[in-house]
Amino acid sequence: MATEITIIRHGETIWNAEKRIQGHSNSQLSENGIIQAGLVAEALAKREFDVLISSDLERAAQTARIINAKLHLSHEYNSNLRERSFGKVEGLNFEEMKARYPDEYSRYKARDPKFAFPGGESIEQLFKRVTTEIETIARKFENKKVLIVAHGLVLEMMMYKTFGLKLDDPRVFSINNSSISSFYIGDDHWFLKEWGVIEHLVSLNVLNEL
C-alpha cells in the first residue's frame, strides 16, 4: 500500500516572467499565473483528494487557495515544502548573478551538491529537507490521496529521489508552471505515476523552472 501524492508547481509569477531567482523571496502570481491556477483547479476537480498541503510561500499558497476554491479541501501550510533558498542572489536574474558573483555562479551551474550561496542552502540540504518531509507526509496520510502545491526544485528533488539520480547530474526534464505530477510513496519506495501534465494549459504560455 502507498500514499498517492499529486504535486502541482505554483502558477507563473512576475519574477518567473522576468527570469529572476525567487528562492524564499515572494513574488506575486502574474495575470497569466492566476489564469493557470484556475485552469489547473478545473483539471483537478475531476479527481479525488483527501487533503491539500502547500508551501507557505505566497506564490504556492495563492495557487493553492485558487485551486481550493474549487476543491474545498482541508488546507495545511508547510514550510518544509519551500523552494530552495538562494540567499543573497534572490531577486537577481542570471546575467546579474554571473556578473556580480562569477565564482559562485560557476559552482551553481556545475550543480555542486555542497555549494550554497551565502544565506542560502545547498542541493544536498534541499534534497534532505524535501524527501524527508514528503516521506513524513506519506506516513501521516498513509493510503490516502494528497494534493501538494509547491515549487519547481521541490519537484526536481522528488524526481531525483524516485530514479536514484546523482544530485550533480544535469536535469533532463521540464518543470512547467501549474503542471500536474503524481507519485506513489510507501515503505521507502517511490514510484512515478505521471509527470508534467499540461493539457489543461494548452492555450497558454507555460514557463520552465529557471
Each domain of the chain, given as residue ranges in start order, spans: 3-85+122-201
Cα separation of 36 and 186, whole Å? 31
Per-residue model confidence (pLDDT) at position 170: 95
Which of 4, 10, 121, 209 is the catalytic position? Answer: 10
Q: For 1-33, how does the pLDDT look when each residue is reduced to its tens digit (9 = 90+)?
A: 799 999 999 999 999 999 999 999 999 999 999
Q: For 133-142, how does the pLDDT look when each residue is reduced to its tens digit (9 = 90+)?
A: 999 999 999 9
Q: For 192-209, how does the pLDDT look when each residue is reduced to its tens digit (9 = 90+)?
A: 999 999 999 987 666 655
Per-residue model confidence (pLDDT) at position 202: 82
With cell 485552469, the residue in question is 39
Residue pair 88/118 in contact by the 8 Å Cβ criterion = yes
Name which of 149, 133, 129, 134 is nearest 9 in CA terms: 149
Q: Which residues contact 210 (CB under 8 A, 6 or more apart)?
A: 16, 19, 21, 94, 152
Q: What is the pTM of this model?
A: 0.95
Per-residue model confidence (pLDDT) at position 209: 59
Per-residue model confidence (pLDDT) at position 207: 61
Which of 4, 83, 90, 209 is the catalytic position? Answer: 83
Q: For 67-122, how does the pLDDT look when each residue is reduced to its tens digit (9 = 90+)?
A: 999 999 999 999 999 999 999 999 999 999 999 999 999 999 999 999 999 999 99
The enclosing H or E element of 71 equals helix 58-71
Domain 3-85+122-201 has CATH 3.40.50.1240: yes
Is 10 catalytic? The answer is yes
